[in-house]
């Protein structure tokens, strides 16, 4: 299957530290890919390379067969790549609807009148319609996570990058958020998801990629990947003989 979005042999250093080392990774249209690895493995840096916050010293970022390595983040967003964060930072004085509208206007580059319908659709998909007129500052953490998703969805992404979006939630809240992410994926949005809550990942993704020391250790079906001794040793700290 042809790649919709890919890193091709990318490397990224910070000073003398090479955080990403000749990493190649791809996501197909409509696919759900999970990224795992130990802390400091380079997972978030990989997302930042995909979204354009960082540029690699070597290699290329490719979207739909086009090299977008030098394309700015806002242009990548308008081309169909959106990112959510582990810690949501909504505009607390604005309403929930206004926050999502910001995504449609500035993220997708729509006129305000054309951004209303996609914003409302994003609120429906994430279960926030009843909160549309409430200030974002009064939302619970789970609701803020939903808002983070809705604001990204208002940009009409083809690929949604999730950076530990379930972090800080209780078990029941994680289950609720997973259901929302499943709905998003069923709408045809490709997903690249970094998450330490592996059971949440495995309930959504069809493929896991393991990054260690900035390199791709392995990738494949979740059960196969998690059963590998080298993955258990690197990721779980279990030395399997």
Domains of the chain: 3-71+158-236 (3.40.50.300)
Question: With bands split at pLDDT 50, 70 and 90, how would you rate the model's confidence at 238?
Answer: low
Is residue 93 classed exposed, middle or buried when 0-12, 13-18 and 19+ CB atoms within 10 A define those classes?
exposed
State pLDDT tens for residues 158-198: 999 999 999 999 999 999 999 999 999 999 999 999 999 99
State pLDDT tens for residues 18-37: 999 999 999 999 999 999 99
State pLDDT tens for residues 39-95: 999 999 999 999 999 999 999 999 999 999 999 999 999 999 999 998 999 999 999
What is the per-residue pLDDT for 239?
54
Averaged pLDDT of the chain: 95
Q: In the chain, pLDDT over 70 holds for what percent of residues?
A: 98
Residue 166 and residue 174 in contact, taking contact as beta carbons nearer than 8 Å: yes
- The yes-or-no verdict on residue 141 having pLDDT over 90 is yes
What is the per-residue pLDDT for 240?
46
């Amino acid at each position: 299957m042809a790649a919709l979005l890919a890193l091709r042999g990318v490397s990224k250093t910070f000073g003398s530290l090479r955080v990403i080392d000749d990493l190649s990774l791809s996501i197909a249209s409509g696919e759900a890919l999970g990224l795992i690895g130990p802390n400091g493995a380079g997972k978030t840096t990989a997302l930042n390379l995909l979204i354009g916050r960082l540029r690699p010293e070597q290699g290329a970022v490719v979207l739909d067969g086009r090299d977008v390595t030098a394309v700015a983040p806002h242009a990548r967003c308008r081309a169909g790549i959106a990112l959510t964060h582990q810690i949501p930072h909504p505009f607390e004085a604005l309403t929930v609807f206004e926050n999502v509208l910001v995504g449609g206007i500035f993220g997708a580059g729509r006129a305000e009148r054309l951004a209303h319908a996609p914003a409302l659709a994003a609120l429906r998909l994430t279960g926030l319609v009843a909160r549309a007129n409430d200030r974002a500052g009064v939302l619970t953490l789970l609701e803020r996570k939903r808002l983070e998703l809705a604001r990204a969805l208002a940009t009409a992404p083809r690929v949604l990058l999730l950076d530990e979006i379930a972090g800080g939630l209780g078990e029941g809240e994680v289950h609720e958020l997973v259901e929302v992410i499943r709905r998003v994926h069923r709408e045809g949005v490709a997903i690249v998801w970094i998450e330490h809550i592996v059971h949440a990942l495995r309930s959504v993704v069809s493929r896991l990629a393991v990054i260690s020391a900035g390199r791709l250790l392995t990738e494949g079906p979740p059960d196969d990947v998690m059963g590998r001794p080298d993955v258990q040793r690197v990721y779980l700290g279990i030395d399997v003989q």
